[in-house]
Amino acid sequence: MAPIGFVKRSSSDEYERDRSLVSRIVFKNKFAKGLDGIEEWSHIYVIFWMDKILDKEKMLVHPGGGKNMGIFATRAPIHPNPIGLTLVELVKREQNVLWVRGLDAIDDTPVLDIKPYPDWEEGHWIVVTDFRAPQWLMEINK
């Protein structure tokens, strides 16, 4: 496992959770060819390595309101493998650089992989709009 590229923000002070911001993913030159045709997708998944996350032992967190939730049931970044996964809008590509909107990763974050969105199987897209989420979060997000 080695980075295929790095996130570059216009400033290291940028608030990375502002999803309206555009950041770049600068791929290693040897992977540029692998991006051919990516422009035809409007959205991609970015899989990155949150190398600043140090707490990998905690199993419970308390989002919203006091209730114990397992780390895997939340978006807490403290996972045993601190892998980030974000669905972003692809704005443009130039050679080995992608401009993306909505990537909540800090400056210089190593990128491990990208994938087109959405997945598909046997002639149909896998886009899930009918989902169930925890009640406390449904209340916030409805």
Residue whose CB is less far from a copy of itself, 12 or 138: 138
Residues that bind a copy of itself (CB under 8 A): 1-2, 4, 17, 19, 31, 33-38, 40-43, 45, 47, 59-60, 67-75, 79-81, 83, 85-87, 102, 112-121, 123-129, 131-135, 137, 140-141
Closest approach, Cβ 4 to a copy of itself, in A, equals 5
What does the alpha-carbon distance between residue 85 and residue 67 come to, in Å, rounded to a whole number? Answer: 25
Residues in a beta bridge with 101: 22, 89
| Type of residue numbered 139 | E
Q: How far is the CB of 65 from a copy of itself (least distance, A)?
A: 13
Q: What whole-number distance in Å separates Cα of residue 52 and Cα of residue 36?
A: 31
CA dist 94 to 7, 37, 65, 84, 117, Å? 15, 12, 44, 24, 20
Nearer to a copy of itself, 1 or 54 (CB): 1
Minimum CB distance to a copy of itself smaller for 50 or for 107? 50
Residue 72, number of CB atoms within 10 A of its CB? 9
For residue 21, the minimal CB distance to a copy of itself (Å) is: 12
